[in-house]
Structure 1
Amino acid sequence: MTAADVIVIGGGPAGVAAAITCVQGGLGVMLLTDQPEIDLADAETQPPEPLQSLHPGVQTLLQQLQIEGVTAYASKGIYTGIKTGAHVSPLSTVEEETWTGHHIAPRLFSAYTLLKVKEMGVDVRFVSRANEIICSDEAVTGVVLADGTTLGCKYLIDASGRGRFAGRYLKFDEELLSRPLLSWTGISMDEQGEAPDRELALFEPNPYGWTWTAYSSNGYHTQTKLADKSNSYAFAKELSASPQAAKIKAANMQWRVFKPLACPGLLLTGDAAGILDPAAGQGILSGLMSGIMAGETVLSCLANAQLSNWYLSRYDNWFMEQFNHKKDTLTKRYREMGIDVSL
């Protein structure tokens, strides 16, 4: 049976951050991703894809993880503030300073960061999907892949994103915190003569939810729409008429969190632990932060096994404090705009 100190499931921001933190601490790390390996040159030639927004506060964490070059590589546009109606909220919290965020291509972000992870010594297994979790003496001790391969570990970090593999497999309790919400993300080519302020992201509340628009520097823009599931037909009708309808992706964005988030041999991180809709903001930043905290928790547990339950409980409490603060802030913001997502 192949073994590693730590197995990380997922190659997104949370998984990459967890893997790098563990390998920086001297552990043997294996990262499993169901995505194929993409050469950087090939990634740059792919068609346009929906963009994700990168808050300027992310850069400090990227430097800590030694992957700060990903911003320049994956950026397809910049923004300095968010416009809601006629009001503009700058990213900067300091007067007379302009902070710049980036709209990045997820495919490029993933290709770059996974290449760097491999260079740091992480054993990255592409096109690999965990199918089962192995437990022994009331602790997680490994996984079985879809092809039957058995992998052992001292700790498993689930960063599988909205797939939420470990929590579902182990049938953890899942607390639902909003009514059912659906989001759609797609791209549209900019019309001739269109001259928006491309350095502002647009947030437009409406009777059903909201629309977020992020402009690229390549002649297209990304739109993300969210609505209560019971009113989603309005968005579905609008988007089905779009020439980009075939490229539109839908996602379940009901607010929810697993309990527990950590137990002997296992930590859940990023969206695999808890989900809020994209209006909570700073999704990549949150993923990186929780991945780093999960990695640091594993390092502490292995360095002082007698206190491992305390370290795991501390991680659980930290994640829930961060999650609840964002939930409460977003709920307040929604109420101010007349949007009610409560159960």
Structure 2
Amino acid sequence: MDPQGARAPEARAAGHAVPDAATLLAAHRALVRGRRFDRQATALVKQGRLAVYPSAHGQEAAEVGAVLALRATDWLFPTYRDSVALVTRGIDPVEVLTLLRGDWHCGYDPIAHRTGPQCTPLATQAPHAVGVAYAARARGEDTVVLAFLGDGATSEGDFHEAMNFAAVFQAPVVFFVQNNRYAISVPLARQTAAPSLAHKAVGYGVPGIGVDGNDVAAVLAVVGAAAERARTGGGPTLVEAHTYRMDAHTNADDASRYRSDEEVAAWRDRDPLDRITAHLRGAGLLDAALEAEIAAQAEADAADLRERLPAGPVPGGDELFAHVYASPTPQLRDQAERLRAEQAADELEDAR
């Protein structure tokens, strides 16, 4: 669909089936819920209840569409920005935010949800995704694995290794790159000289396809086709979803230093939630009563998250050094002693 929500004339040009009404309604509901969750998490950072939160505002259609295109038996390997994807996957929002509160645990059970822990280092989850896919195929399962990546991750060696291995061994993986134009402050032009990130697939001998990441219907169709191809023995696909993060990289970032207000405004007009809402209204599938019901449920979810999210953990200083090496190095022991001395001095000062 186009940015105004009208059915695009080239909707079937890529040969993908257009999602039916029930699927689009489910996607709309997930987008509303995801947007409200994202706004609530952003507010929790400002309140000091989260250590950090990388917002997905503006990218929700890419995350929601990719998740809904998979089966419950498939696997996801997310990045730090894919919290909306995890909520769409059905993971408890409190568990999703556990890691972002500063806890060193994942928060949710990866096995139960068939979802790897959110990964902060760029692209390191990509080889893990390929390994799970390769193992599943060796066991005779029809599991597909989707690896979320950002545009910056395509500059990492782990991305190359994962793509190459998946291509050579025909692992059932969908590499889903959310190209939001910036790797923190580094623009896409500094990441690659290729015409697009999807073009990188050519070098590995696998299909590469670009999709409007703000069009949830298009994402559903393209990722669904890539997953079916992988499931039936066709091997991996690289999908590049063109989208944009409306907020800064995280709450610690000042996006105004590297992008203009005019650029942000232009993408605001392509809002993914406004687009699917306009489409469903125009098709007579969404009325005021249903919109109010969906919005009320999203508000209830946000209130539940506020109520149940515990206070941030207060780790002891020794935890910083506990699991770096099996046996602490002299440098780590020295750092730990210096930290203890600083903490003791602070406590003495407070006592005065």
TM-score by length of 2: 0.24
Bigger strand share: 1
Higher helix residue share: 2
* TM-score between both structures, scaled by the size of structure 1: 0.25
The structure whose Rg is larger is 2
